[in-house]
Each structure stands twice: as structure tokens, then as C-alpha cells.
């Protein structure tokens, strides 16, 4: 059974704690709710963090003391570069999120198309996303700074933030991913799939990828599949196994599908090189299927068998 929205909101509220900026808190809940209407179950894992909590976090993987207290914790890995006062979490202006399984029981940390969609919703509500940072990407992190620096915040200034209510407009106003737009355009011109090039991955784009694959399997391998854009046992059985060195339109479809799942195959050039192999390997590991660096039936099925 799918977890109730109320449960996700309650857990998120608890994790954000007291001391949140009200606009940030409301926007976080709005994001959870908005994602839920798209059948994406997401939870907030952190919100306000005291200076002592920040010190404990900074101490992970380091020798560190703060205000005369030892926070060194070398048993753990470094998780942040922000010292106390240097994170917007310390001012109740940042949140972290993660995806949960449909039943709400399991945390899923894979940065895939769902994850990116939640980030896009958050950005539509006025958050800046840690996944957009050029160095040290922080994929769960969203913040609203109101243009204030840590120095200004430490001096007691409060940001002026406004809660954005354009909930239904998010998919239209939120800018889609440029690479996805170009994949959608290529699918339309190459396979006459007629999908909207909006930069978001969804069932229609997935179906267009399947159509492309069916078309290529018929053309190149004489498979006689019905080109219906639906994933079924016949299409699965007809797939061919690709490995490093392969090239052509089927490799391009593989690259596109990997990119949609959030695994960057390098350039979408139809050439199965080292970057595509690395992306495939990461995807296989993340999906818990055989990590053999071969795009065979199991991988094609994992990439394209969705309802």
C-alpha cells in the first residue's frame, strides 16, 4: 500500500525541527505534497541544525573542536565542508530530502529522474539545489538564502522570503533538462514519436525510447516486432547485448535511457566508450542487477520496463 501523504508530511515536520524559517518550512511541505501528486514519495531528512549539531557533523572524518569541546569523529567519512554558522541549515533556511519507497518503509538515495524531478519542483518553489553546485555536489540539499551571507545572518539579519503558490505551474515554468529536450527532439525526428520536448522524463518519453529500440531491432536485426512503444516479453527477448566498442542508434538509445535515469554516459553520440561503460556500470550497481558492464536483456528490462 502506498504511504499516506499525511505520514510523509508528519515525518518531514519532525525532521525539520523547530527554528525553521516559516516560508522554507511551508515550501518544503509544499514540495513533498506536489511530488506526491506525481506519485513521487519524498521526505525531508533535515532542516534546522544547531551550531553544536553542525560541529558534530563537521567533525565527521576530521579532528575538530568547537567552543572548547571535542567533536572529532574519525570513524566516519567527511560529509560537509561547512563549519558551525557556515551552513544555511543553521539558520533554518535549508532542508535535505530523500526519496522513499512507495510503501514509505525504505530510503532510496539514488539520484535518478525522480530525484531530479523533486529538485525541479523545489527550484520552482524558490529553492536553490545543491545538485547544481559546480564543486562538492550536495544532491539532497535545498536552500533559500534571500541573498544574505553568513556574516549578515550571524549579525541577526533575516531574509525576506515569499512563499510561491504557483503549484500547478511548476511543470510548465520549471525549465526542463537541455539534454533531455535534445533527446526528445531526436526521437521525434528519427522515429516520428510526436512527444513534447519539455525536458522531463516520463512515460511518454520512455515509450518513445521503446519505439526507437523496436524500430532499430526490426531494421538492423530483422526482428519483426510490433512497433507499439510498449515493453513486453517479445521486445525483451529481441534485445541485443551491447558492450564497449559498439556504435549506432541502439547505443544512442542506451545512452539516452541511462541519461534519463541520471547516469551520465558522456556525450550522446551513439558510441559505446569508456564513459558510457562507466555510467552503465554505476547504473547496474545502483539498480542491484548484474554489474557486468554489458547492456543485455536484464539491463534493457531494468531501464525500460516501467508502468
Number of residues located near Zn ion, criterion CB under 5 A: 3
Q: Which residue is nearest to Zn ion (CB)?
A: 141
Considering the rule CB under 5 A, would residue 48 count as an interface residue with Zn ion? Answer: no
Mask: binding to Zn ion, 65-94, rule CB under 5 A, as x and -? -----------------------------x
Residue number with CB closer to Zn ion (64 or 98): 98
Stretch that binds Zn ion, among 141-149, 153-161, 210-218, 297-305 (CB under 5 A): 141-149
Closest approach, Cβ 141 to Zn ion, in A, equals 3
Residue numbers 172-231 binding Zn ion by CB under 5 A: none
Considering the rule CB under 5 A, would residue 141 count as an interface residue with Zn ion? Answer: yes
Stretch that binds Zn ion, among 96-104, 153-161, 207-215, 272-280 (CB under 5 A): 96-104
CA dihedral 279, 280, 282, 287 (to 10 degrees): 140
Residue from 30, 96, 198, 271 touching Zn ion (CB under 5 A): that is: 96
Residue number with CB closer to Zn ion (94 or 99): 94
Considering the rule CB under 5 A, would residue 49 count as an interface residue with Zn ion? Answer: no
Where along the sequence are the contacts to Zn ion (CB under 5 A)?
A: 94, 96, 141
Amino acid at each position: 500500500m502506498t504511504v499516506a501523504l499525511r505520514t510523509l508530511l508528519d515525518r518531514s515536520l519532525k525532521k525539520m525541527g523547530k527554528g525553521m524559517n516559516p516560508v522554507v518550512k511551508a515550501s518544503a511541505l509544499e514540495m513533498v505534497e506536489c511530488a506526491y501528486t506525481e506519485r513521487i514519495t519524498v521526505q525531508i531528512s533535515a532542516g534546522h541544525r544547531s551550531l553544536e549539531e553542525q560541529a558534530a557533523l563537521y567533525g565527521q572524518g576530521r579532528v575538530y573542536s568547537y567552543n572548547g569541546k571535542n567533536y572529532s569523529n574519525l570513524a566516519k567519512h567527511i560529509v560537509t565542508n561547512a563549519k558551525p554558522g557556515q551552513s544555511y541549515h543553521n539558520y533554518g533556511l535549508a532542508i535535505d530530502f530523500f526519496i522513499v519507497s512507495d510503501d514509505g518503509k525504505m530510503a532510496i538515495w539514488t539520484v535518478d529522474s525522480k530525484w531530479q524531478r523533486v529538485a525541479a519542483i523545489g527550484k520552482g518553489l524558490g529553492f536553490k539545489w545543491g545538485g547544481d553546485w559546480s564543486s562538492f555536489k550536495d544532491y539532497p540539499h535545498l536552500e533559500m538564502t534571500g541573498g544574505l551571507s553568513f556574516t549578515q545572518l550571524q549579525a541577526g539579519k533575516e531574509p525576506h522570503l515569499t512563499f510561491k503558490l504557483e503549484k500547478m505551474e511548476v511543470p510548465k515554468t520549471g525549465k526542463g533538462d537541455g539534454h533531455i529536450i535534445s533527446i526528445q527532439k531526436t526521437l521525434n525526428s528519427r522515429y516520428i514519436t510526436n512527444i513534447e520536448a519539455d525536458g522531463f522524463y516520463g512515460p511518454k518519453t520512455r515509450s518513445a525510447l521503446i519505439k526507437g529500440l523496436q524500430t532499430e531491432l526490426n531494421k538492423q536485426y530483422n526482428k519483426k516486432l510490433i512497433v507499439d512503444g510498449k515493453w513486453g516479453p517479445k521486445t525483451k527477448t529481441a534485445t541485443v547485448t551491447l558492450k564497449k566498442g559498439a556504435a549506432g542508434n541502439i547505443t544512442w538509445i542506451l545512452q539516452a535511457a541511462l541519461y534519463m535515469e541520471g547516469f551520465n554516459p558522456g556525450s550522446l553520440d551513439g558510441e559505446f566508450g569508456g564513459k558510457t561503460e562507466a555510467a552503465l556500470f554505476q547504473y547496474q550497481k545502483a539498480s542491484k542487477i548484474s554489474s557486468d558492464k554489458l547492456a543485455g536483456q536484464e539491463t534493457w528490462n531494468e531501464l525500460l520496463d516501467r508502468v
